Amino acid sequence: MKTSASVLIAGQGLAGTLLAWELERAGREFAIVDAGHAESASRVGAGLVNPVTGERWASAPGWAEKSAKARAVFREIELAWGVSLVRELRIRREWRDEAEAAPVRARVMRGELAPWMRAEGLEARAAWIEGAWRVDLPALIAAGRARWSAAGRLREARLTEAEASSWPGPVVWCAGAAEDKLPELRPVGGETLELRIEPRADWPGDVVRHDGVWVLPTGEGRAWAGASFVRDEAERVARREALRASVRRQLADVGWRETAVLAGRRMTSPDRAPRSGWLTGREGREGVFNGLGSKGALLAPALAREWADRLAG
């Protein structure tokens, strides 16, 4: 469906920022309304993209291609805006016990986790994962905000339904946890610990320590540790303490202190897949770009490009 009027983007988190970038690239008129980042996932999301994840050390099919495409988009933005966003990382992940280690070692020896995990990266208590990277989400959001505020395209306000329905062009809700248009999407709270750490020569800045909880050096004597995902208060307290216990253990050889708890909410769907497209019955008028879950950095660039194509008609 051809929709040539200016696109209104509600929300400038990761989703809204990438959609605005794609529209700008395509020379399409757009405006953004954003309600601020008090609860936004992109303010606290670590932006890690990791080829081997979870308790089962799983590697998703097609990961390499998706990762390369996503990273290329962030690189384009880096070049166009003159900001540094992407950092390559190596992960040193510790086994919990031999029961966890044995099957992973066997898969590595059979080459099943190559090229990210190889025999030479196996240690007695840990294994190395190569090929991970991070996009600095707060830096991306701040740079986009400065750019589009200066261009008079971004207004700081909460878009109302009434304003949305009177907008002459298409409206795309990139509103994260404030979204209530799709009942299957549910908010999940998440916390990351911000730390001060003493730099150590034997802990290079591109190495993430990981024992189920990752500790990511973010530069200038700082690190992030996390993240926990919680549905209620009781769970939040327990998860935060578990996070702290892991940090105490992993940083036993490093001087450190906790400087903040960063909390946000992200949207997730029952099948963990994002929701991106026109709302039923509102085709060409109103759509959503949401439900990025814990894989926003990997998934959002391709979905934003799809949105730009959809809007081009």
Ligand X SMILES: Cc1cc2nc3c(=O)[nH]c(=O)nc-3n(C[C@H](O)[C@H](O)[C@H](O)COP(=O)(O)OP(=O)(O)OC[C@H]3O[C@@H](n4cnc5c(N)ncnc54)[C@H](O)[C@@H]3O)c2cc1C
Taking the complex as a whole, how short is the minimal distance between the CB of residue 246 and ligand X, in angstroms? 15
Please name the helix (run of DSSP H) or strand (run of DSSP E) that holds residue 249, with its range, or none: helix 233-250
Q: Which residue in this structure is represented by tokens 């990273």? A: 71
Q: How many residues does the chain have?
A: 313
Among 28, 42, 85, 148, binds ligand X (CB under 6 A): 42
Among 53, 59, 67, 192, binds ligand X (CB under 6 A): 192
Q: Is 51 in the site for ligand X (CB under 6 A)?
A: no
Among 33, 73, 101, 304, binds ligand X (CB under 6 A): 33
Among 41, 104, 243, 308, binds ligand X (CB under 6 A): 41
Q: Is 294 in the site for ligand X (CB under 6 A)?
A: yes
Closest CB to ligand X among 101 and 292? 292
Contact region for ligand X (CB under 6 A) — 31-39, 72-80, 91-99, 122-130?
Answer: 31-39
Please name the helix (run of DSSP H) or strand (run of DSSP E) that holds residue 43, with its range, or none: helix 41-44
Give the integer Cα–Cα distance in Å for 155 and 149: 7
Closest CB to ligand X among 16 and 217? 16
Among 7, 8, 12, 20, binds ligand X (CB under 6 A): 12
**287, 307 contact by CB (below 8 A):** yes
Closest CB to ligand X among 101 and 297? 297
**262, 192 contact by CB (below 8 A):** yes
Interacting residues with ligand X between 228 and 257 (CB under 6 A): none
**153, 29 contact by CB (below 8 A):** no
Q: Is 34 in the site for ligand X (CB under 6 A)?
A: yes
Nearest 5°: phi and psi at 113?
A: -110, 15
Taking the complex as a whole, how short is the minimal distance between the CB of residue 109 and ligand X, in angstroms? 29
Q: Is 11 in the site for ligand X (CB under 6 A)?
A: yes
- DSSP string across 279-308: PTT-TTTEEEEE--GGGHHHHHHHHHHHHH
Taking the complex as a whole, how short is the minimal distance between the CB of residue 134 and ligand X, in angstroms? 7
Query: Which one-letter DSSP state was computed for residue 53?
Result: B
Which residues are CB-neighbours of 190 under 8 A, at least 6 positions away? Answer: 41, 44, 45, 226, 227, 228, 229, 230, 263, 264, 265, 266
Q: Is 296 in the site for ligand X (CB under 6 A)?
A: yes
Contact region for ligand X (CB under 6 A) — 62-70, 103-111, 142-150, 289-297?
Answer: 289-297
Q: CA separation (Å) from 211 to 44, 53, 54, 128, 261?
A: 20, 11, 11, 12, 20
Q: C-alpha angle 274/277/278, rounded to 5°?
A: 145
Interacting residues with ligand X between 125 and 154 (CB under 6 A): 137
Contact region for ligand X (CB under 6 A) — 14-22, 67-75, 85-93, 194-202?
Answer: 14-22
Taking the complex as a whole, how short is the minimal distance between the CB of residue 51 and ligand X, in angstroms? 13
Query: Which one-letter DSSP state was computed for residue 160?
Result: P
Q: Cα dihedral angle (295, 260, 133, 124), rounded to 10 degrees?
A: -100
- Residues forming contacts to ligand X in the complex (CB under 6 A) are 10-16, 33-37, 40-42, 44-48, 137, 158-159, 174-178, 190-192, 226-227, 264, 266, 290, 292-298
